[in-house]
Amino acid sequence: MVAYIIIPGIGGSDEHHWQSLWEHRWGASAVRVAPASWAAPDLEDWVTSVQAAYELASRRDGQRGERGVGRVALVAHSLGCWAAAQWLDRARPEGVAAFLVAPPDPLGPEFPREAASTFLGLSAGPLPGRNLVVASDDDPYCDAAASAALASGWRAPRHSVGNQGHINSGSGLGDWQDGRELLRQLIDGVAVA
């Protein structure tokens, strides 16, 4: 059994976003983070929200008669990638995989100003567990070179989806079946090309 922790970017993911569609598909196996600072992101609030979602996923798994969470997948998009990375770095959990989609470049000119006070200045250091950075070559928030540098810093493979913008609702991906396959491969420990 896999527990999925959904970590959207600023404002959350709308109902057409692949994260929301996946969350609906997964039902009780998915927990969405709920920071109080969606619109004006505060890093500590977001990291605390990831911890709370992890604890909720653990309790749900325990109610099914299992001991603790068997496998956990963080499914992060945009600024949520940084919240996921910071939580992983601090908590150092076992059995957690991170699917990091379209992380914004904190040094880039388009980094969200709303997040600058607490997210700016972060750097990508080695993360525990199996991780994958999924990036678009024409992402306005992170060019291909920057996403490759982030993946390298996090010690995670980088998978390009070509030109898909910010890999969000505006990219027209719908349920994003290719993304679900990448996530499945990550969880199963299959090398992603």
- pLDDT tens, residue by residue, 147-188: 999 999 999 999 999 999 999 998 999 999 999 999 999 999
Cβ contact 50:58 at 8 Å: no
pLDDT at 64 over 50: no
pLDDT at 53 over 70: yes
Boundaries of every domain in the chain: 2-188
pLDDT of amino acid 70: 59
- Distance (Å, rounded) from C-alpha 133 to C-alpha 151? 6
Is the CATH number 3.30.70.1880 carried by domain 2-188? no
Task: For 117-129, write each residue's pLDDT tens digit.
Answer: 899 889 999 999 9
Give whole-number Cα distances, 117 to 38, 85, 113, 140, in Å: 14, 18, 8, 20
pLDDT > 90 in the chain, percent: 79
Q: Where are the beta strands (DSSP E) in the chain?
A: 2-7, 30-32, 71-77, 96-101, 131-135, 158-160
pLDDT at 77 over 80: yes
pTM for the model stands at: 0.93
The b-or-e profile of 83-103 (16+ CB within 10 A means b, else e) is: bbbbbbbeeebeebbbbbbbb
The b-or-e profile of 140-161 (16+ CB within 10 A means b, else e) is: ebbbeebbebbbeebebbbbeb
Specify the higher pLDDT residue, 69 or 29: 29
Average pLDDT, the chain: 91
